[in-house]
C-alpha cells in the first residue's frame, strides 16, 4: 500500500498516474475540499486528519503501508518532517515530490522590486514600511501579520481560497469583508494586475511556491504596476529522496 500525503495540485497527478499502474493507494488530506475531490475523482480511501509522527506510524502499521509519497505544498514543512521521521522509524520508503522552484528570467528580475525573506515573521516586519499590503499567502499565518502591522484593519488586504473555514477565520481575526478576496487560483497576470490596482496595493506578499502556484504572474503583475514584492523563500528540509517531475517519480516506483 502506498500512502500519498496530498495537499497540492501535483498530488492529484500522482494519484492518477498510480491508479493507471493499478497500485494500491490511500491518501491523506487536511481539508474537506481535498477529501471530497479525491474521493469523487479517484474513488480511493481518503483520511482527513492532521497527523503527527505517532499518528502516521499508527497508520503505516494498520494499513501495511510500504511507501510514503509526500506531495504536500512546499511550505507544509511540519507534515513533511513528521513523515520523514515516521518512515525512518518504521523502516519504509519516503519519497518527496517537490514542485520545481521558479527561475525568474533576468529581464523580469530587473523589472521587479523583490525583497527576499526567510519567514512569515520577517515578511510582516518588512511589510510595516508600506501603507497598503496585499497578502497572497493564505489564512494560516494571518496572526503574524495582524500582530506586527499597526492599523491592520485599514492596511491589510487578503486573497485566500474560498473555503468557509478559511473565510470564517479571517473575519474572526477582524479583517473586514471589504478587504477580503475569496477565490481559487492560480490567476493570470491581467487578473492579478487588476486586483492589485483595485485595492491600491503598495506591496505584495507571496511565497516561493513555484510555477504551478502562480508566482510568476503575481510578480509580472506587480512589476507592471511598479509594486514591491516580498517573497518568502521555501523552508529548507533535507529530504531523503526528491523528485521534481511526476514521470520520474512514477518510473522510480514502478521499477
pLDDT tens digits in sequence order for the chain, 255 residues long: 999 999 778 899 999 999 999 999 999 998 887 888 898 888 899 999 999 999 999 999 999 999 999 999 888 899 999 999 999 999 999 999 988 777 777 777 778 889 999 999 999 999 999 999 999 998 888 999 999 999 999 999 999 988 888 899 899 988 999 999 998 878 999 999 999 999 999 999 999 877 667 889 999 999 999 999 999 999 989 999 999 999 999 999 987
What's the pLDDT at 78?
94
Question: Hey, what CATH topology would domain 2-100+238-254 get?
Answer: Rossmann fold (3.40.50)
- CATH code reported for the domain at 106-232: 3.40.50.620
C-beta of residue 189 within 8 angstroms of C-beta of residue 217: yes
3-class secondary-structure state, position 190:
helix
Residues contacting 8, CB < 8 A, separation 6+: 71, 72, 73, 99, 212
Spatial separation of the C-alpha atoms in residues 74 and 236, rounded to whole Å: 10
Topology alike, domains 2-100+238-254 and 106-232 = yes
Whether 191 and 176 have beta carbons less than 8 Å apart is answered as no
pLDDT of residue 114: 93
Secondary structure (DSSP) of 75-132: T-HHHHHHHHHHHHHHT-EEEEE-PPPP---HHHHHHSEEEEESSHHHHHHHHTTSSS
Domain regions of the chain by residue span: 2-100+238-254, 106-232
Cis peptide before 186 (omega within 30 of 0): yes
Amino acid at each position: 500500500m502506498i500512502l500519498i500525503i496530498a495537499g497540492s495540485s501535483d498530488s492529484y497527478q500522482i494519484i492518477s498516474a498510480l491508479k493507471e499502474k493499478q497500485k494500491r493507494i490511500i491518501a491523506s488530506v487536511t481539508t474537506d475540499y481535498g477529501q471530497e475531490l479525491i474521493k469523487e475523482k479517484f474513488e480511493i480511501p481518503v483520511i482527513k486528519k492532521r497527523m503527527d509522527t505517532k499518528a502516521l506510524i499508527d497508520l503505516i502499521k494498520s494499513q501495511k503501508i510500504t511507501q510514503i509519497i509526500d506531495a504536500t505544498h512546499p511550505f507544509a514543512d511540519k507534515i513533511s518532517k513528521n513523515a520523514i521521521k515516521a518512515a525512518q522509524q518504521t523502516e519504509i520508503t519516503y519519497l518527496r515530490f517537490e514542485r520545481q522552484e521558479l527561475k525568474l528570467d533576468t529581464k523580469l528580475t530587473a523589472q521587479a522590486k523583490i525583497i527576499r525573506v526567510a519567514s512569515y515573521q520577517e515578511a510582516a516586519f518588512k511589510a510595516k514600511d508600506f501603507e497598503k499590503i496585499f497578502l497572497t499567502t493564505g489564512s494560516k499565518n494571518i496572526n503574524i501579520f495582524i500582530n506586527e502591522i499597526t492599523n491592520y484593519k485599514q492596511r491589510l488586504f487578503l486573497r485566500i481560497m474560498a473555503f468557509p473555514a478559511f473565510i470564517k477565520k479571517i473575519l474572526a481575526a477582524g479583517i473586514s469583508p471589504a478587504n477580503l478576496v475569496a477565490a481559487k487560483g492560480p490567476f493570470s497576470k491581467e487578473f492579478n494586475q487588476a486586483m492589485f490596482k483595485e485595492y491600491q496595493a503598495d506591496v505584495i506578499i507571496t511565497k516561493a511556491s513555484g510555477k504551478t502556484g502562480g508566482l510568476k504572474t503575481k510578480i509580472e503583475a506587480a512589476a507592471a504596476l511598479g509594486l514591491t514584492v516580498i517573497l518568502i523563500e521555501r523552508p529548507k528540509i533535507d529530504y531523503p529522496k526528491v523528485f521534481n517531475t511526476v514521470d520520474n517519480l512514477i518510473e522510480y516506483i514502478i521499477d
